[in-house]
Amino acid sequence: MLSPYPQLVIAGFRRHSTYRQAALAGLTTNIVFGLLRAAVLLAVLAQRPVVAGYDVAAAVTFVWLGQGLLTVVLLWGDTELATRIRTGDVVIDLGRPWDLQAALLAGDLGRAGFAVLARLVPPMAFGAALFPIRWPERPATWALFAVAAMLAVVVSFGIRFLLNASAFWLLDARGVFAVWGVVGGVLSGLVIPLAWFPEWARTALAFTPAPSLFQTPIDVFLERGEPVGALAGQAFWAVLLLGVGRVVLHRGSRRLVVQGG
């Protein structure tokens, strides 16, 4: 038996695939919100045919791909590590002969894999049935998109890991998650395309990992801009966030107070 991490990826997939009804309920919500968001963007485009390079096809693709990627990238709702720090169950995680960050990342990739099947493909199919989705013209785009989506998951994991690890200091990280819940969606290009932001805001956001989460994979899919540079940017943020996460985990576990006896 060589490395446990591939098995942890599979376990992450299996763990999430046990909750099929929850996945179905979430999917329904995704689709309803997709319809609302599509209606809003189409109302904007009814005033002008093209806004910052987005025509109707690009806009509806942006909406449905965003809805599908939402639970793949997983912006919100991952509070597992913070909860385990708060309850003291993290003592189990730290007592295993593994790299905790790598183990959690492996589990998260498995989770994302299940989400591709259960949460990305159905909204895209639904969107394609009702709206003029713009599919990639170049075959290579599919592979680039797959890489961009995976890097988005890793960047998202890196951010979520840091948010969760704040519980080592705060014990209750709910406030941190609440702030991220408000700003995360807007800054990452999930709510409206970042191209619609004013110039100064786009420049500022370029210095953050936020666009890597949704805007970059969606841009790659829509064949907007140069993909390799975009992927390199994502990879940079992924490596940086994981690196910072390692330092934080090391520091945090040194000052750990195990809760609950």
Partner 1 sequence: MIIQTRGLGRDFVVRRTRIPAVADVGLDVERGEAVGFLGPNGAGKSTTIKMLTGVLVPTAGTARVCGLDPVRERKALARRIGVVFGQRSQLWWDLPLAESFALHGAIHRVPAARHRERLDECVELLDMAAFLSTPVRQLSLGQRMRGEVTAALLHSPELLVLDEPTIGLDLASKERLRTFLAAVNARGDVTLLLTTHDLPDVERLCRRVVVIDKGRVLVDDDLATLRRRFAGNRTLVVDLVEPAGPLHGLHGVVDVAVEAQGMRQRLEFTGSAAGLIAEAARRVEIRDVTVDEPSIEDLVRTLYAS
Residues that bind partner 1 (CB under 8 A): 1-2, 4, 7-8, 11, 14-15, 18-19, 88-89, 91-92, 94-98, 103, 253-258, 260-261
Q: Which is nearer to partner 1, 14 or 138 (CB)?
A: 14
Q: Which is nearer to partner 1, 88 or 136 (CB)?
A: 88
Q: Which is nearer to partner 1, 2 or 46 (CB)?
A: 2
Minimum separation from the CB atom of position 91 to partner 1 (A): 5
Minimum separation from the CB atom of position 166 to partner 1 (A): 19
Q: Which is nearer to partner 1, 55 or 99 (CB)?
A: 99
Minimum separation from the CB atom of position 245 to partner 1 (A): 18
Q: CA dihedral in degrees (68, 72, 83, 25; nearest 10)?
A: 40
Report residue 94 CA to chain centroid gap: 25
- Counting Cβ atoms within 10 Å, is residue 254 exposed (0-12), middle (13-18) or buried (19+)? exposed
Minimum separation from the CB atom of position 113 to partner 1 (A): 15
